[in-house]
């Protein structure tokens, strides 16, 4: 990699890369912590619903008073995006509607957009990436977050001539977690509600990781960016440690957990009986790949790779991800190379709101990580066939008919405002990137 060298040349030429950050939450704060230590990278403006909170976040991560004084803090994202001195926009709000709106504003202003907001990416990312390409700017997944790291590993495997068998991440999973709510989440994490509150931890946000929604969203993003397949029944979450990656993540007909080779999957750090998995990958990412021939397989043995019984499949993994601390890679890649660290190329995976319990007509859905629904990964073609309601739109809308526990919520089940801009954007994306239409092209 030579990003840092390229950045120093820019700085030496008196042209630092200047950035607008939208959203100064945890991810944004982690990025902001690194900016003062990256010569040639500057934040011109930070847009947040609470500018004072954003300013305090900068103080908390170690910014000097001079750096804070030189930065614009505002609640006007449009103004921050449109600044003439800004080259890259980082969207880190986590709100799908806001993310789509901000991405389009950045594209219209001729700025590269780094989409930390994977919820927005899964809702309409293929369309946004297409619009960015037409405008001559970069639309990128966020390096440091697991989807972009997985995309990098998939790209590495393919670039060296390996067939990708599976790719994904680790998490803590048990089937019962799909019914988890903000009231039960801390017990699954093994902490008290009091300790969580003292740490400023948002129960609904953390529950979206626990109930399987975030895993579905992230794997949809990977499938849409890499072309890997999506299991027809959703993620299986097999229990698996790093030493067993090529053994577990092989086709079912050979005793593995994969429906088909070449798909995304998330592995669990706990066995189904709750015992911890040996050498788990809870915080990391992986790729399983296959040797193209016997000589390559022989090299696997010679260089100590752990393989499946055939000797032809091996794995690479990264045990941790540093989320916002690594985000500078995406910013620099967009500005200096004109390259994304992962971006959707099609609509292959979708995440559909699925009832956590029996839901009654008249109830209002409370979105990702809430009390009503969790987000289940499914092939986009199936989602379109059943009229599945995307998890990114399952907030603040009422059911007009009941939905049984475990069943997907559909467009026909809800009273949705068809004039809503986010809804219309999603429908436009569906029409433009329907899997059958892509296959015919």
140 and 30 in a common domain: yes
Q: In terms of C-beta density within 10 A (0-12 exposed, 13-18 middle, 19 or more buried), how is residue 441 classed?
A: exposed
135 and 34 in a common domain: yes
What's the pLDDT score for residue 336?
Answer: 97
Query: Residue 356: inside a domain, yes or no?
Result: yes
307 and 221 in a common domain: yes
What are the tens digits of pLDDT across the range 350-407? 999 999 999 999 999 999 999 999 999 999 999 999 999 999 999 999 999 999 999 9
CATH of the domain at 56: 3.40.50.720
227 and 243 in a common domain: yes
What's the pLDDT score for residue 438?
Answer: 52
126 and 241 in a common domain: no
362 and 313 in a common domain: no
Alpha-carbon dihedral sign for residues 254, 255, 259, 261: negative
Give CA–CA dist 294/312, Å, rounded: 8
Instruction: Quote the distance between the C-alpha of residue 244 and its chain's center.
Output: 25
Cβ 266 vs Cβ 235: under 8 Å: yes
Q: How many residues does the chain have?
A: 441
158 and 263 in a common domain: yes
Alpha helices in 367-412 (DSSP H): 380-386
Question: Which residues, given as ranges, of the chain have pLDDT below 50?
Answer: 437, 439-441
331 and 283 in a common domain: no
Number of separate domains in the chain: 3
How many C-beta atoms lie closer than 10 Å to residue 272's C-beta?
A: 12
291 and 153 in a common domain: yes
Residue whose pair of structure tokens reads 């009390």 in the numeric block: 371
CA distances from 88 to 134, 150, 309 (A): 17, 23, 47
CATH of the domain at 419: 3.90.1210.10
Give CA–CA dist 417/77, Å, rounded: 25
**Domain extent at residue 406:** 349-440
DSSP labels, 235-290: ----B-BGGGHHHHSSBGGGTSSBSSSSEEEEEESB-TTSPBPTTB-TT-EEEEEE
Query: Residue 178: inside a domain, yes or no?
Result: no
């Amino acid at each position: 990699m030579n990003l840092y060298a390229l950045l120093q040349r820019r700085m030496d030429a008196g042209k630092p890369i200047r950035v607008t950050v939208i959203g100064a939450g945890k991810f944004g704060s982690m990025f902001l912590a690194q900016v003062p230590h990256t010569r040639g990278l500057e934040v011109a403006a930070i847009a947040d619903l609470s500018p004072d909170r954003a300013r305090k976040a900068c103080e908390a991560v170690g910014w000097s008073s001079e750096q804070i004084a030189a930065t614009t803090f505002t609640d006007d994202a449009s103004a921050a995006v449109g600044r003439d001195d800004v080259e890259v926009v980082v969207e880190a709000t986590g709100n799908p509607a806001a993310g789509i709106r901000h991405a389009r504003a950045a594209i219209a202003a001729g700025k590269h957009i780094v989409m930390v907001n994977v919820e927005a990416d899964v809702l309409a990312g293929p369309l946004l990436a297409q619009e960015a390409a037409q405008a001559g700017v970069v639309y990128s997944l966020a390096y440091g977050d697991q989807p972009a790291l997985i995309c990098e590993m998939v790209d590495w495997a393919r670039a060296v001539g390996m067939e990708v068998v599976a790719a994904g991440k680790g998490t803590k999973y048990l089937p019962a977690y799909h019914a988890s709510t903000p009231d039960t989440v801390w017990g699954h994490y093994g902490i008290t509600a009091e300790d969580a509150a003292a740490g400023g931890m948002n129960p609904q946000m953390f529950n979206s990781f626990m109930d399987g929604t975030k895993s579905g969203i992230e794997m949809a993003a990977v499938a849409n960016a890499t072309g890997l397949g999506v299991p027809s029944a959703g993620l299986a979450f097999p229990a698996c440690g790093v030493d067993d990656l090529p053994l577990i993540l092989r086709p079912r007909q050979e005793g593995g957990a994969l429906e088909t080779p070449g798909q995304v999957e998330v592995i669990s750090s706990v066995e189904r009986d709750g015992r911890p998995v040996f050498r788990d990958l809870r915080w990391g990412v992986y790729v399983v790949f296959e040797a193209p021939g016997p000589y390559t397989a022989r090299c696997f043995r010679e260089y100590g790779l752990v393989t499946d019984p055939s000797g032809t499949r091996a794995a690479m993994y990264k045990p941790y991800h540093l989320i916002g601390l690594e985000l500078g890679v995406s910013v620099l890649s967009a500005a200096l190379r004109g390259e994304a660290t992962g971006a959707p190329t099609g609509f292959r995976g979708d995440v559909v709101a699925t009832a956590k319990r029996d839901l009654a007509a008249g109830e209002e859905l409370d979105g990702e990580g809430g009390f009503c629904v969790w987000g289940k990964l499914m092939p986009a073609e199936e989602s379109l066939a059943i009229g599945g309601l995307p998890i990114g739109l399952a907030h603040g809308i009422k059911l007009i008919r009941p939905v049984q526990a475990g069943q997907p919520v559909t467009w026909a089940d809800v009273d949705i405002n068809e004039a809503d801009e986010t809804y219309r954007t999603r429908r436009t994306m569906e029409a433009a990137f329907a899997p059958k239409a892509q296959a015919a092209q």
